[in-house]
């Protein structure tokens, strides 16, 4: 692969891997796979069946649902791979969003003690966030992402043009994760994110590269989630609670956006002022606009049980008995990991924060 500005190289403990970000590369990639001489097996989102089938490559199609990436569903898939002749020489080629990625990387890490694999993300979330970092996560029974491995692909090819067919809330959710990553990284990266128009294919390339460059920093300094990389959980403790309490009617990316708004409101409850940090106000306005991509957002927020949200929030496994572990924003605009003492007053402030976020959305223009 030749050097170009659309190319990013990520270092990991298992070696380096390249990410190429280029619009309309998808058909070309599929055509090249056939000529490559490598023993390929494609694992693709069912959504891409027609596009993949045209190229006559061995492929397994999977519905992108949480059930598909469960431990329960993997034996059938593994048997199917075996019956198609997959062996140590097989190179898995995954095509889809985070569900397909998680499943493919998990299987690639354990099938015959490990296969090489490549990934072509098809959702904005996959392109701007999950495609690098090497994590795989598998659901077990009711427990989401309980099992996992670190097994980065050999190569990632992102084609932002594919995002054009995504539902609006899915598209917006991916952009929210990119806003989160770039905001955590630096004022400059976040400013570049805000300045790009996601409706243009070229600008979306730039959004993807900018977000991946920011994420690359975190995963290279802290590959295994011990310190710096934890900051990328910004918005996720509140977000997971909102997602769960809405019974997943609020999708992940939108919930993260709402979760970030909650964490800012929580800081204000504790007397933090963001008056000196313009980027915080910019983030807030951006998120308020982006979460409106979810139809019936106000209705979903209205029907939430606050008790349920707070219970879920309090039971996050990152907290200790005496402290909540939260990713917050300091008055400078910097994202920080904070341990906040668990008191009645803290619980009151958490509840108030969710309230404040809901009022903020209710008073905004849809
Ligand atoms: N491994 C990681 O680092 C990591 C990080 C974040 C999230 N995840 C996981 O990713 C999953 C969510 O992934 P996701 O949000 O990327 O989406 P997804 O894979 O769940 O797909 C969402 C929907 O979009 C459809 N779709 C995919 N690409 C499309 C396209 N180009 N056009 C139209 N429809 C398309 C899918 O068929 C599906 O219906 C979750 O299970 C989450 O746990 C993993
Ligand atoms: Zn997320």
**Cβ burial, residue 4 (10 Å; 0-12/13-18/19+):** exposed
Q: Residues 188, 283, 265, 171: what is their CA dihedral angle, to the nearest 10 degrees?
A: -120
Q: Place 5 in a pLDDT band, splitting at 50, 70 and 90.
A: confident
Measured from the alpha carbon of residue 169, the closest ligand is 1
Query: What pLDDT does residue 58 have?
Result: 96
- Read off the DSSP letter of residue 308: H
Query: What pLDDT does residue 342 have?
Result: 97
Structure tokens at 8: 């990013």
Average of per-residue pLDDT across 69-80: 97
Q: Residues 90, 96, 100, 104: what is their CA dihedral angle, to the nearest 10 degrees?
A: 20
Question: Within a 10 A sphere around the Cβ of 84, how many other Cβ atoms?
Answer: 12
Which residues on neighbouring strands pair with residue 59, listed in sequence order? 42
User: Atom of ligand 1 at shortest distance to CA of 144?
Assistant: 43
Query: What pLDDT does residue 317 have?
Result: 87
pLDDT higher than threshold 60 for residue 3: no
Protein residues whose CB sits closer than 6 Å to any atom of ligand 1: 45, 47, 64, 66, 69, 96-102, 122-123, 125-126, 129-130, 133, 135-137, 145, 162-163, 165-166, 170
What is the chain's length? 366
Question: Within a 10 A sphere around the Cβ of 330, how many other Cβ atoms?
Answer: 14
What does DSSP say about strands 7-12 and 15-21: parallel, antiparallel, or unpaired? antiparallel
Query: What pLDDT does residue 4 have?
Result: 59
- Read off the DSSP letter of residue 177: H
Supply the pTM of this predicted model: 0.96
How far is ligand 2, taken at its centre, from the CA of residue 37, in Å? 37
CA distances from 5 to 9, 126, 200, 209, 347 (A): 11, 20, 18, 9, 47
Give the chain's mean pLDDT.
Answer: 96
Average of per-residue pLDDT across 232-248: 97
Asked whether 311 and 351 are in contact (CB, 8 A), the reply is no
Question: Within a 10 A sphere around the Cβ of 307, how many other Cβ atoms?
Answer: 10
- Listed in sequence order, the residues at least 6 apart from 296 whose beta carbon sits closer than 8 Å to its beta carbon are none
Residue with CA closest to ligand 1 atom 18: 97
**Cβ burial, residue 186 (10 Å; 0-12/13-18/19+):** middle
Q: What is the pLDDT of residues 98-121, one digit of tens each?
A: 999 999 999 999 999 999 999 999
Asked whether 26 and 161 are in contact (CB, 8 A), the reply is yes
Query: What pLDDT does residue 365 have?
Result: 78
Q: Place 34 in a pLDDT band, splitting at 50, 70 and 90.
A: confident
Q: What is the pLDDT of residues 323-337, one digit of tens each?
A: 999 999 999 999 999
**Residue appearing with tokens 């959710």:** 173
pLDDT higher than threshold 80 for residue 366: no
Question: Within a 10 A sphere around the Cβ of 358, how many other Cβ atoms?
Answer: 19
């Amino acid at each position: 692969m030749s050097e170009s500005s659309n190319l990013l190289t990520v270092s990991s403990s298992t070696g380096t891997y390249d990410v190429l970000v280029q619009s309309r590369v998808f058909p070309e990639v599929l055509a090249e796979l056939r000529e490559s001489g490598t023993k390929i097996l494609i694992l693709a989102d069912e959504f891409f069946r027609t596009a993949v089938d045209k190229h006559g490559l061995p492929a397994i199609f999977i519905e992108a649902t949480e059930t598909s990436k469960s431990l329960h569903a993997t034996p059938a898939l593994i048997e199917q791979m075996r019956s198609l002749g997959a062996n140590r020489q097989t190179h898995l080629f995954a095509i889809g969003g985070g569900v397909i990625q998680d499943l493919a990387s998990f299987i690639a890490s354990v099938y015959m003690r490990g296969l090489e694999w490549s990934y072509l993300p098809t959702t904005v979330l996959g392109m701007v966030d999950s495609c690098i970092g090497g994590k795989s996560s598998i659901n077990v029974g009711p427990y989401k992402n309980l099992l996992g491995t670190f097994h980065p692909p050999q190569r990632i090819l992102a084609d932002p043009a594919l995002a054009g067919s995504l539902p609006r809330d899915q598209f917006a959710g991916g952009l929210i994760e990119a806003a989160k990553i770039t905001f955590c990284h630096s004022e400059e990266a976040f400013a570049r994110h805000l300045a790009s128009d996601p409706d243009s294919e070229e600008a979306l390339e730039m959004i993807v590269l900018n977000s991946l460059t920011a994420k690359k920093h975190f995963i290279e300094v802290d590959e295994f989630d011990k310190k710096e990389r934890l900051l990328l959980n910004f918005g996720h403790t509140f977000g997971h609670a909102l997602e769960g309490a809405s019974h997943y009617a609020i999708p992940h990316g939108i919930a993260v956006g709402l979760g970030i708004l909650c964490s800012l409101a929580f800081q204000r409850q504790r007397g933090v002022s963001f008056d000196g940090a313009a980027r915080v106000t910019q983030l807030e306005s951006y998120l308020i606009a982006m979460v409106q991509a979810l139809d019936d957002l106000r209705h979903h927020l209205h029907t939430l049980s606050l008790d349920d949200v707070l219970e879920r929030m309090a039971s996050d496994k990152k907290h200790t008995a005496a402290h909540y572990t939260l990713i917050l924003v300091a008055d400078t605009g910097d994202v920080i990991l904070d341990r906040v003492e668990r008191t009645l007053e803290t619980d009151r402030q958490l509840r108030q924060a969710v309230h404040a976020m809901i009022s903020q959305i209710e008073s905004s223009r849809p």
